[in-house]
Amino acid sequence: FVNKYIDNKSIKLCSILGIGAYGVVYLGRHIQSKRTVAVKLLSPESRTYKTEIQLHAHVSHHPNVLSLKKVVKEEGLIFIVMEFAAGGDLFSAITKNTHDIIGNNDKIKELFIQLLDAVNHCHSHGVSHRDLKPENILLTKDLQIKLADFGLATTRSVSADFGCGSTFYFSPECQSGLLRDNKQINGYGTQANDVWSLGVILINLVTGRNPWRQANLDDSTFAAYVEQPKGFFTTILPSISDELDNILQRIFCLDPAHRISIPELKWRIMECPTF
């Protein structure tokens, strides 16, 4: 669809920005104003596209959520026109360290607090994201966070849709009904699951790495954490501060009912002198 025109020929699709399981995202340009936009092509066959559009639109009016401009239906296809975040995604920013984030306390704090504000906004509007990871967090040129990709978002506070999300980032209870007292749980809290993902992203920002591959007992690193949480993070991540260690233990609380809330997490991050 590169060089194709959509929306009554008012937007030209200029190039491909990204391809994922969800479809293709194009860089679009308004013919008259020359303004750039991101255009996501969704398959009408996708069972969830209506939910994605509905929930994204519902939380779109926040400075740290990617703004959804309009939905265009043409020739049996669905195009979502969104703001274009020219700074790329947080994954590239961390792995290539293009913005000197790693080891920069002020930048980490600024970025993570914006992310907390975005997720808190979604939660306060009854929406859980369920796929929080650096690839779905976009940046403007001046390092403003834009939360994107609501393809797995839900309004359910408890979900039985286990294994939903990305393996590095989802919580242990999201993975198949964690056995508790040998009883199968029949659902997980979607907001507490988002908080767990935020913790992994915080470790990504501070250290440039992941704490484990997957939060289940088949993963030896995670199993070691379950066995002895105290001192775990300072052992595998020796550069982190005691304050951050305390915060991580509150985020990665194995009982989701006692996991830290986003408002408390924001306060703890703001008060944290060094990561």
134: its two tokens = 């650096």
Annotated active-site residue in 7, 89, 117, 131: 131
Q: Is 131 one of the catalytic residues?
A: yes
**Adjacent-strand bridge partners of 68:** 82
Q: Is 133 annotated as a binding residue?
A: no
Q: Is 212 in contact with 222 (CB distance < 8 Å)?
A: yes
List b or e across 110-135, with b for residues whose CB sees 16 or more CB atoms inside 10 angstroms.
ebbbbbbbbbbbbbeeebbbbbbbbb
**Adjacent-strand bridge partners of 74:** 77
Q: Is 194 in contact with 126 (CB distance < 8 Å)?
A: no
247: its two tokens = 């915060």
For residue 179, count CB atoms less than 10 angstroms from its CB and return exposed for 0-12, middle for 13-18, buried for 19 or more. exposed
Q: Is 157 in contact with 128 (CB distance < 8 Å)?
A: yes
DSSP 3-state assignment of 3? coil
**Adjacent-strand bridge partners of 28:** 13, 37
* Binding annotation for ATP: 40
Residue numbers annotated as active site: 131
Binding residues: 40
